A and B are shown apart, each in its own frame.
Chain A
Amino acid sequence: MLVKADTLLEQIKKHLKENYSLGCNFTNKNTSQKPSNIDSLELNDNLTVRELEHSLGAMFNVEVKLFNSEGYSIPPEYTLLQAKDDIFELEDDHNFNTKIQALNTISSSSSYSDIDWVKRVFMQILRDAQSSDHFQQIEEILDVVFQDNEKFMQADFDEIAEAINDKKLALKI
């Protein structure tokens, strides 16, 4: 579909729904329209969500938000073809992985100083740890945090390591 300045927003909505199973929300920007240097936009499989939202926003002076067939927003880097099959589901290990990611982020931050929080996150992760793979990941990150963060002391390391061992024993891992 080729979108031009005189294309109705309803037509765009209909096209995205019929061809990509995508919902589309348009909200007025409440600002005077700036002249747009975008005359037209081809809605094709390779167009990214970011490009679409940005270009249509500039052409029609609206905020554009695409959402998938479950009503969730779509990562902006997805193409329309990828967005068509997008499903947002939490993986089984979501809570564990979220905290591992958080600890990775924290440990890579040299300015990070809230050691109490780091320790709390380790304790939170241990609640979700169920497999030897989980414990291996936790132990690896513990080593990284201990090496990289001078405010994370030997006593902090020992406290977490002991908690890990206790949980492993409890689970017979």
Chain B
Amino acid sequence: MKITKFTYGKPDSDWGNIDFEMEGVLENKSDHDVEFVKTSVIMLNENDVAVGGTEDEDDRVFIASKDSGDVSLLSWQSVHKDKFKSGTGADCKALVHMTTYRREFVKVGTLEIPEKEGDLSEIKKNISIGGVAELMGMSVLRMKDSDDGDAEFEIVSSVRNTSDDFIARAQTTLKLMDQRDAQLEDTYDYRELPAKSSVTFQPSFWGLKPGKIKNGSIVVTASVFVPIDTFTAEATPKPSSD
């Protein structure tokens, strides 16, 4: 990773805040496509003391294996001028950490929508997600309809991290289909998943009329983001040309 732009503006007249911007270029030397990055930046003053910082993540990045691409490192970050002896951003130093992730995706399966209160529909098998995590099936229990006459469900799925890696995002996606296979609703849940730990999702749907979902189904997919590489860089800013 190379930092290609790191600039600071003039302190704003109202609050005395200095805006910083930073961009970089990432070379993906790995055999995997990068589909997710997590970035953290620590802003230091002339005494190497932390005066600001930020953490960010980007799931809209795609840098193919052996390719290079731009990464946004810092935006919307400001530090008060009085945290620097000179009162300008010239004294700032930034420490940047970035981790790139690949995506492992799996089609889990399809569940029939339970027809009446007390019915339970299940995906009974455990599904491996890229050999690093496991989805421990899924259950959907039909509950009593709500006072508004909407169908209610209690849906549970669990994912466990079977690897020694930190999974930045474990995600399940549920798409509710009617009997003609048209999508009615969808819901997503995601969480971080440290090594050798698990997470239990309880996704929900709203406003489902029983007649509409009769003979319908729920299509389930899951994905995890697994680390590829880590990068660190240090930079000092230049005055912004704006």
Contacts and interface: CB of A to CB of B under 8 A. Distances in A.
B67 A67 contact: no
Interface string B170-197: 0101000000000000111010000000
A72 to B, nearest CB: 6
Contacts of A7: none
Contact of B173 (A71, A75, A99, A112): A71
B23 interface: yes
Contacts of B76: 50, 76
Contacts of A101: 69-70
Contacts of A99: 67-69
Contact of A109 (B5, B173, B187): B5
Contacts of A151: none
A102 B70 contact: yes
A136 interface: no
Interface residues of B, number: 27
Interface string A64-97: 0001010111011000000000001010001100
A71 B188 contact: yes
A98 B206 contact: no
B123 interface: no
Interface of A: 14, 17-18, 23, 25, 50, 67, 69, 71-73, 75-76, 88, 90, 94-95, 98-99, 101-102, 105-106, 108-109, 112, 114, 117, 120-121, 124
Interface of B: 2, 4-5, 23, 25, 27, 57-60, 62-64, 66-70, 76, 171, 173, 186-188, 190, 206-207
7 contacts: A50-B76, A69-B186, A71-B188, A90-B62, A99-B67, A101-B70, A124-B66
